Structure 1
């Protein structure tokens, strides 16, 4: 700026703002157009499934979000919001929405046998009871798919021998086909939009073909070999008048119970196939009150806290001890020692967990061979728990060593020297000066480490898989954490219980949240004391 005096007050020339080069403005405009075009394209792509499924609320949210983004980035206003919007949307999609979906699932009976609607359950029950009876219609069968011949969804192309009409059937039902070529035997040789499987390809998927049933009004169409199909009659049919399933052979009746989402007989027997319903707080109450669940759950919870605290505290103590030992300038070769000590942290954890599992093997494991012992490490509760904590100690201490080394280097050496001048010994100086200053910096890291170990799925699943299991409860093992117990409930071989597993996930979330909140309050207190 320059100042001039023309017989009056001094005036200062205002700086002229620099304008961006035309080429730069053009490039920015093109980038904006491309990004907004991609946004619209993604929104259009996502709209079709929502329309097909009748999810009108989701479609409205999608349309409103897309319109808001277009308005935000076309107008020159609201500059801060332009930077916040992408992160906020990703936060909602990948954090908030999964949490809300999990919470909503926790209030339902969603799981194996209770996945769809009541109508889906009726169709499944009737289809599963189909039997071939005298006079059942017969069809020429061709097996096709809409994807890869080895893995794509199977489609049954059936030809009516009387009319030569061809229909395509899957688990959703039949639909007529026009663009087909039919051979002299009545089997389809080509069909528009479908890949006809050869005899060899169909033979390799024979089990899937036999299991596939195409529902029809009176029963279902099933394969009889790889070239013929029949339309059988359902042995169990739905009676809308009594809202029940009736067995046409025995006359037994299962009445619909909308509270449990299943068809229930008078003696309490339930049909396997049910439907999804809300159960309120039933899953949460089951965790706390059902004896077969509450006892193992509480034992697992206590061990979960012990594992997280032991893993976090043990790795911190060992890492800090090593960091203090190598912090002294009198130690020679500190760089080489630090490189060697960090090696466990540089290895892939999943591979190291599998290696440690083999090292604890009773017969040929390195641990037993090294000490000349024959300990069944994973056969007893105490030994298995000790083993997994020892593995965590080896895997986790390098991280604590690194962060403790960095925190120690940030503490002025003058403080330790002043303490020695005042007569404080090494232990007193560490306890009263070094450790409190370290805790101010490291407490947030310890909190995150505790939360990680509280849900450390790999540490248990890859070493013990939750074992050992008591004879009376094969679902909950001695080394199971709540996360591995939840995984077994949701994806175990005994049948998935997604609603119940979601309820336990909510418990885990609340427990970690409470512990973290209390720890952060303690951190603020330390900061106030040492500020």
Structure 2
């Protein structure tokens, strides 16, 4: 797009009776289109279209029409935005905004919404899926059951892909592929069957060999393919049978009956489970909303609320102690290397950031062995006999020391940068006014450092508040008291939550999400208070 402006130009005589002859000046409001820019735009828009198509198929399969509409609208808006010459600021803001929504806002909202449900093991799908799971799990072989030649296959990775039973009907030699949704006949030209009737190859499937099938034997044993008369289950790794379900769903009473024992489980829509008269629940349930039940459980269940509060206090102490220790050591090293008279400062700085460059995962495991009571280097080096990870306070001290070693290089780097940004004239002026080194540091250098570093200290506090690896890889939350094996002396809220939600009772994602909301609220509150104090510092030293 271009705009034409007219001007007679300075010093130019106007012909034709004094009128000025106008000459066009073209003012462009956009850069010229180049081949490189056009190619990049086509590639990026093609990538966006590919991602949209990839994401659309699961949404269509799940009949998530609202999500599909949002996806289509977002994709159309992206194409419009980057194919027009208008809305230049939005071209820069949209990518960051979309990433913020995808990786920050959406996970927070999804976690918060999950906290109001019973989502977890046994409560993952809907009611219809739970009924199918109950019936297929109760399938047993009965006299006269049809037996099939079985080949176990998958549509993905042999070690982790979804299982598929390739079965051959002994009467018709027809081959079927069975998954959790049911059976599907395979065309004769797409399969290869050996003389024993077992499928050795099938188009679109990876047939597992004996070793691969043995590695997944537990999954194969539990796997069942629903059929109108019951379900097909494996009998070993090469045979399968079509059994009959002993538990049937009766729509009239909205209940499940065991045909062998006559026992009945009635649907409880509030709990998302089939419950017997004596309170027994079937393992397979469905996902339902439970309101504030997960939050109430955290606050009212004495087996959870008591350890939760104790863990919270230690969690705050650990986060504060870790930040204070790493900041003090990092600042001390930065001050020592800030002196111009010191030689080899570059080498020292490289050596000091080595812990920051090493993988923390591996270093935490190394430190765990260093604190070992019997053969750990710490005890041997200092001639001690301390059970570092077995005592309450020694384990806590060990965790803080490990985190200090891992975290001080970061503080050293940011403190070095902040020190270099402080004009030397300020410290020299304080010296001229008669201030000693300590007074100059406390009255001039430190306040200016805190203005720049307080936001980083707050972010470091938030990180250490949820520092799962530092605790779990070093002490696993222990030591544990004899009367409560779920809450250890060094547990943080995040490790305590992990153990509660994913312990022996199975995954309880809804409950874990509720505790995560508590953690989010605590960190947000502490961070808000800290940022308010930071603003006061900025106003004071502005």
Normalising by structure 1, we get a TM-score of 0.91
Map of 1:39 onto structure 2: 48
**Contact persistence 2:373–2:385 (CA under 8 A):** yes
Superposed, which structure 2 residues align to 1:388-399 within 5 Å?
388-399=399-410
Could you tell which deviates more after superposition, 435-444 or 203-212? 203-212
135, 143, 154: which one aligns with 1:134: 143
Q: Is 1:220 the counterpart of 2:231 in the alignment?
A: yes
Map of 1:117 onto structure 2: 126
Could you tell which deviates more after superposition, 66-75 or 217-226? 217-226
Map of 2:420 onto structure 1: 409
Map of 2:68 onto structure 1: 59
**Contact persistence 2:30–2:85 (CA under 8 A):** no
Map of 1:79 onto structure 2: 88
- Judging changes above 3 Å, is the alpha-carbon distance between structure 1 residues 516 and 137 closer, same or farther for their aligned structure 2 residues? same
Map of 1:425 onto structure 2: 436
Q: Is 1:366 the counterpart of 2:377 in the alignment?
A: yes
Could you tell which deviates more after superposition, 185-194 or 95-104? 185-194
Aligned residues: 530
RMSD: 2.8
**Contact persistence 1:220–1:234 (CA under 8 A):** yes
- Judging changes above 3 Å, is the alpha-carbon distance between structure 1 residues 10 and 354 closer, same or farther for their aligned structure 2 residues? farther
Map of 2:4 onto structure 1: none
- How far residue 466 of structure 1 moved from its aligned partner, in angstroms, is 1.1
- Judging changes above 3 Å, is the alpha-carbon distance between structure 1 residues 427 and 18 closer, same or farther for their aligned structure 2 residues? same
Q: Is 1:442 the counterpart of 2:453 in the alignment?
A: yes
- How far residue 509 of structure 1 moved from its aligned partner, in angstroms, is 1.5
- How far residue 64 of structure 1 moved from its aligned partner, in angstroms, is 0.7
- How far residue 484 of structure 1 moved from its aligned partner, in angstroms, is 1.9
Map of 2:511 onto structure 1: 500
- Alpha-carbon distance between aligned partners in 2 of 1:521 and 1:9, rounded to the nearest angstrom: 67
Map of 2:283 onto structure 1: 272
Q: Is 1:483 the counterpart of 2:494 in the alignment?
A: yes
**Contact persistence 1:4–1:12 (CA under 8 A):** no
- Alpha-carbon distance between aligned partners in 2 of 1:491 and 1:63, rounded to the nearest angstrom: 37
**Contact persistence 1:489–1:498 (CA under 8 A):** no
**Contact persistence 1:3–1:11 (CA under 8 A):** no
- How far residue 20 of structure 1 moved from its aligned partner, in angstroms, is 9.1
- Judging changes above 3 Å, is the alpha-carbon distance between structure 1 residues 141 and 522 closer, same or farther for their aligned structure 2 residues? same
Could you tell which deviates more after superposition, 139-148 or 475-484? 139-148
Could you tell which deviates more after superposition, 325-334 or 364-373? 325-334
SS at match of 2:286: coil
- Judging changes above 3 Å, is the alpha-carbon distance between structure 1 residues 501 and 198 closer, same or farther for their aligned structure 2 residues? closer
- Alpha-carbon distance between aligned partners in 1 of 2:31 and 2:531, rounded to the nearest angstrom: 49
Give CA deviations for 1:56-87 in whole Å, capped at 9, x if unaligned.
11110111111111222222211111221222
- Judging changes above 3 Å, is the alpha-carbon distance between structure 1 residues 77 and 156 closer, same or farther for their aligned structure 2 residues? same
Give CA deviations for 1:366-419 in whole Å, capped at 9, x if unaligned.
111112222111111111100000111122222222222222232233333333
- Alpha-carbon distance between aligned partners in 1 of 2:539 and 2:22, rounded to the nearest angstrom: 48
Map of 2:470 onto structure 1: 459
**Contact persistence 2:130–2:285 (CA under 8 A):** yes
**Contact persistence 1:489–1:495 (CA under 8 A):** no
- How far residue 200 of structure 1 moved from its aligned partner, in angstroms, is 6.1
- How far residue 467 of structure 1 moved from its aligned partner, in angstroms, is 1.3
- How far residue 494 of structure 1 moved from its aligned partner, in angstroms, is 4.0
3, 18, 22: which one aligns with 2:10: 3
SS at match of 2:507: coil
- How far residue 352 of structure 1 moved from its aligned partner, in angstroms, is 1.9
Could you tell which deviates more after superposition, 157-166 or 402-411? 157-166
- How far residue 493 of structure 1 moved from its aligned partner, in angstroms, is 4.9
Superposed, which structure 2 residues align to 1:156-175 within 5 Å?
156-175=165-184
Give CA deviations for 1:153-192 in whole Å, capped at 9, x if unaligned.
3322333334444332122222223334556654445544
**Contact persistence 1:327–1:408 (CA under 8 A):** yes
- Alpha-carbon distance between aligned partners in 2 of 1:398 and 1:197, rounded to the nearest angstrom: 49
Give CA deviations for 1:235-261 in whole Å, capped at 9, x if unaligned.
222222211122222222211111111
**Contact persistence 2:370–2:376 (CA under 8 A):** yes
Could you tell which deviates more after superposition, 119-128 or 355-364? 119-128
- Alpha-carbon distance between aligned partners in 2 of 1:226 and 1:324, rounded to the nearest angstrom: 68
